Amino acid sequence: MTIAIVIVSVLVGSAIWLWLLMRFDKFEPEPLRLVLLIALGAGLAGFFFAGLNNSIFHAFLGISFLDDAMPLPEALASALFVGINEELVKFSATVLMVFKLREMDEPIDAIIYATAAALGFATFENFAYTLEYGLPSLVIRLITAVPLHLGTAAIWGLGIAKARFIKGGGYFSASWGYLAVAAVIHAAYDFFIFVIPGRYMLASLGLSFAIAVALIVFMLRRLKHLQRQSPFAPGNVCPRCDGINAPDARFCAACGTAIVQEFFIVCETCSVKALKTDRFCAQCGARLPAERTHGYSSDRYVR
Ligand SMILES: [Zn+2]
Ligand SMILES: [Zn+2]
């Protein structure tokens, strides 16, 4: 098998996932080159530093990584370390690349950039594993390890969205709870793979596949939810029937479902959406009931 075949196969696999993710970002799509830049930058930085930490930790404990089934205590320690390490490093690299990014102007963008960084990370891992174990391992990773990385990034991506659009900064303090959940899920996934391989390869693959499926269902639902919460949506999108309602509608006119704005408030005077941290409406100047303010203004939502 030539290197060219590996490179093309790995890239095609990642492109399919990227296409799926970006389909959700439909009201104000992020520029593809920016998404690719963050996938490459945060993905490579994460891959390098997380890989370095993993090697140091395993050398320190004298554990051989991924050779055979590990004994239970070693598998537990190793899985916990890898989970915390990889999620924290990916998160930090992503925040460093997006916290000043003006293009991140709707909540779904936080998930798009977080999952792009995770996809970049998983792509580098896929190169390494496919070169060592061949194309069948790539097919398995595309439906297990890649969804794992995307799903955990979608979890801490919610923290990034919250920091940016509700709290006005404080990326780590808004995200540490999400990061902890992501790290524990990642650790559980790795634990099954570290402790059960060999004779029980199918069992460990089944368990990790189940975690991957649950994470992808979660990610797709969050993406859909944040798409409806976009300030660039043509009105208030109903969470149940996708009906478009007036910007200040509190219930869907078609099905009666309550419509809650999680990230934005609507100006009572002119119905333009504003950040919860804006003091004044950027369209009509009316005073808004903001409790805190920060540097981002929602002037971009005025049209
Ligand atoms: Zn409805
Ligand atoms: Zn107004």
Tell me how far CA of residue 59 lies from CA of 62, 88, 124, in angstroms: 5, 20, 22
Q: How far apart are CA 180 and CA 189, in angstroms?
A: 14
The per-residue pLDDT for 97 is 95
Q: Tell me how far the alpha carbon of residue 282 lies from the centroid of ligand 2, in angstroms.
A: 7
The per-residue pLDDT for 207 is 85
**CA atoms in the 13 A half-sphere facing the CB of 289:** 6
Name the least confident of 8-17, 64-73, 261-270.
Answer: 64-73
Name the least confident of 161-165, 226-230, 299-303.
Answer: 299-303
The per-residue pLDDT for 2 is 87
The secondary structure element, H or E, covering residue 236 is: strand 236-237
pLDDT of residue 95 exceeding 60, the answer is yes
| Range 261-277 burial, b when 16+ CB lie within 10 A, else e | eebbbbbeebbbbbbbb
The pLDDT of 168-195, averaged and rounded, is: 91
The per-residue pLDDT for 261 is 83
Q: Tell me how far the alpha carbon of residue 235 lies from the centroid of ligand 2, in angstroms.
A: 15
Ligand nearest to the Cα of 268, by number: 2
Name the least confident of 64-68, 239-243, 253-257, 294-298.
Answer: 294-298
Taking CA 263 as the corner, what is the angle to CA 259 and CA 268, rounded to the nearest 5 degrees? 65
Q: Tell me how far the alpha carbon of residue 26 lies from the centroid of ligand 2, in angstroms.
A: 25
pLDDT of residue 73 exceeding 60, the answer is yes
The per-residue pLDDT for 198 is 62
The pLDDT of 278-294, averaged and rounded, is: 78
The pLDDT of 116-142, averaged and rounded, is: 94
Q: Tell me how far the alpha carbon of residue 242 lies from the centroid of ligand 2, in angstroms.
A: 25
The per-residue pLDDT for 93 is 96
Output the pTM of the full model: 0.91
The pLDDT of 207-228, averaged and rounded, is: 94
Amino acid in position 136 = P
Tell me how far CA of residue 123 lies from CA of 40, 257, 258, in angstroms: 9, 40, 40
The per-residue pLDDT for 185 is 96
pLDDT in tens, 243-283: 988 877 889 999 999 988 888 888 888 888 888 778 888 88
- As beta bridge partners, residue 275 has 264
Q: Tell me how far the alpha carbon of residue 253 lies from the centroid of ligand 2, in angstroms.
A: 23
197 band by pLDDT with thresholds 50, 70 and 90 = low
pLDDT of residue 88 exceeding 60, the answer is yes
What is the DSSP secondary structure assignment for residue 286, as one 8-state letter?
A: -
**CA atoms in the 13 A half-sphere facing the CB of 69:** 12
Q: How far apart are CA 196 and CA 203, in angstroms?
A: 8
Ligand nearest to the Cα of 253, by number: 1
Amino acid in position 44 = L
The per-residue pLDDT for 247 is 79
Q: How far apart are CA 107 and CA 130, in angstroms?
A: 34
The per-residue pLDDT for 15 is 97
The per-residue pLDDT for 70 is 74
The per-residue pLDDT for 108 is 96
Higher pLDDT, 271 or 223: 223
What is the DSSP secondary structure assignment for residue 244, as one 8-state letter?
A: E
Ligand nearest to the Cα of 270, by number: 2
Q: Tell me how far the alpha carbon of residue 21 lies from the centroid of ligand 2, in angstroms.
A: 33
**What contacts 192, CB < 8 A, 6 or more positions away?**
204, 207, 208, 211
Q: How far apart are CA 147 and CA 139, in angstroms?
A: 12
**Three-state SS sequence of 76-145:** HHHHHHHHHHHHHHHHHHHHHHHCCCCCCCCHHHHHHHHHHHHHHHHHHHHHHHHHHHCHHHHHHHHHCH
The per-residue pLDDT for 299 is 63
The strand pair at 244-245 and 273-275 is best described as unpaired
The pLDDT of 212-220, averaged and rounded, is: 95
Residues with CB under 5 Å of ion ligand 1 are 238, 240-241, 243, 252, 254-255, 257
pLDDT in tens, 232-241: 888 888 989 9
